[in-house]
Structure 1
């Protein structure tokens, strides 16, 4: 009986760890997408700044 309880508890912990890993994987993917998008914005801002500097010269 005790072994069955421990087995059930272990399975519950493993399921929770799997769910946690899935959540962290999703968060990691969102962070990487955000960084990629921010990089695109930085590039556009840099080009705009150069155009403004050229225009002002």
Structure 2
């Protein structure tokens, strides 16, 4: 049963995680968010009640 032999799969998994952790992740983390969070308090929208003609 070759699927129980960890020799090739462990090396592939280790290589892919190292590639992601050391090369790809730092490049992704350098991007600036296009919508940075603000410190303004949330405001509730002011709504006016609907005037129904039959009431």
**Please, what TM-score do these two structures have when normalized by structure 2?**
0.42
**Please, what TM-score do these two structures have when normalized by structure 1?**
0.40
Higher helix share: 1
